[in-house]
Structure 1
Amino acid sequence: MRLVYDNIIFKLQENRPAGISAYWRQLIDRLAKSDVELRLFGEPTKNIFDAKEWSQEHESSINYKIRRYLPFLDRLPDGSIFHSSYYRVSLQKNIKNVVTVHDFTHEYYRSGMAKMVHHWQKGFAIKNADAIICISENTKKDLIKFFPKTDPNKLHVIYHGVSDSYFPAYQDAPDKFKDLGKYVLFVGGRGGYKNFDKVVSALSATSGYRLVIAGGGQLSDEEKNKLDLDLGDRYSIFPIVDEADLNFLYGGAFAFVYPSAYEGFGMPILEAMRAGCPVIASNNSSIPEVAGDAATLLEKPAPELINSALKKLENKNFRGDLIRRGLEQSQNFSWDKCFRQTNSLYMELSS
Structure 2
Amino acid sequence: MKILYDHQTFTGSQYGGISRYFFELMNAFWERKDVDFELSLKFSNNEYLRNVPYAHPWGYARLANNFRANQAFSLVNRLCSSTKLNAGDFDIFHPTYYHSYFLDKIGKKPLVITFHDALSEKYGKQFPVLGEGLTELKQRLLTRADVVISVSEATKRSILEYFSIDEAKVKVVPLGNYFERPTANHSLALTLPDRFVLFVGKRDFYKNFDRFFESVAPLLKNDKDLHLICAGGGGFSAEEKQAIAEQGLQSRVIYQPIIDDMTLIQLYEEAQVFVFPSLMEGFGLPILEAMSCGCPVAATTGTSFDEIAQDAAVYFEAENKESIRAAVEKVVYDETLQQTMRQRGYERVPLFRAETTAQKTLEVYKALV
* TM-score, length-scaled by structure 1: 0.88
**1:27 partnered with 2:41:** no
* Cα separation, partners in 2 of 1:216 and 1:121, compared to 1, 3 Å: farther
Q: Which has the higher mean CA deviation after the structures are superposed, 112-121 or 22-31?
A: 112-121
Equivalent pair of 2:110/2:146 in contact (CA under 8 Å): yes
What are structure 1's unaligned runs of at least 5 residues? none
How many correspondences in the alignment? 344
Matched residue of 1:293: which SS? helix
Q: CA deviation at 1:327?
A: 1.0
Please state if 1:347 is matched with 2:366. yes
Structure 1 residues 68 and 103, CA gap change in structure 2 (3 angstroms):
farther
Match of 1:81 in 2: 92
Pairwise CA distance, 1:344? 0.9
Deviates more, 1:161-170 or 1:191-200: 161-170
Corresponding letter in the other structure for 1:266: G
For residues 71 and 104 of structure 1, what CA distance do their matches in structure 2 show?
29
Aligned twin of 2:228: 211
Q: Is the Cα contact below 8 Å between 2:11 and 2:77 reproduced in 1? A: no
Deviates more, 1:36-45 or 1:338-347: 36-45
> Given the alignment, which residue of 120, 126, 144 partners 2:142?
126
Query: Could you say what secondary structure the match of 2:134 adopts?
Result: helix
Separation in structure 2 between the aligned mates of residue 286 and residue 226 of structure 1, nearest angstrom: 30
Q: Amino acid of the residue matched to residue 290 of structure 1? A: I
1:8 touches 1:64 (CA, 8 Å); kept in 2?
no
The 5 Å alignment of 1:271-310 reads: 271-310=289-328
Moved more, 183-192 or 230-239: 230-239
Cα distance change, pair 141–274 in 1 and its aligned pair in 2 (3 A)? same
The structure richer in helix per residue is: 2
Root-mean-square deviation (CA, aligned residues, Å) is 2.7
Q: Residue in 1 aligned with 2:63?
A: none
Shift in Å, 1:282: 1.0
Kindly provide the amino acid, as one letter, of the partner of residue 5 in structure 1.
Answer: Y
Q: Which amino acid aligns with 2:138?
A: K
After TM superposition, the structure 1 = structure 2 runs for residues 76-225 of structure 1, keeping only pairs within 5 Å, are 76-77=87-88, 80-88=91-99, 89-90=102-103, 91-111=105-125, 115-148=131-164, 150-166=165-181, 170-174=185-189, 177-207=190-220, 208=223, 209-225=226-242
| Whole-angstrom CA distance in 2 between matches of 1:204 and 1:98 | 45
1:301 to 1:185, Cα distance in 2 relative to 1, 3 A: farther
Secondary structure of the 2:290 match is helix
Quick one: structure 1 residues 168 and 305, their matched pair in 2 at CA, closer, same or farther if it must change by over 3 Å? farther
Distance 1:262 1:164, change over 3 A: closer
Residue type of the alignment partner of 1:83:
H
SS in 2 for 1:292: helix
Distance 1:62 1:256, change over 3 A: closer
The aligned amino acid for 1:135 is: V
* Partners of 1:169 and 1:253 in 2: CA distance: 20
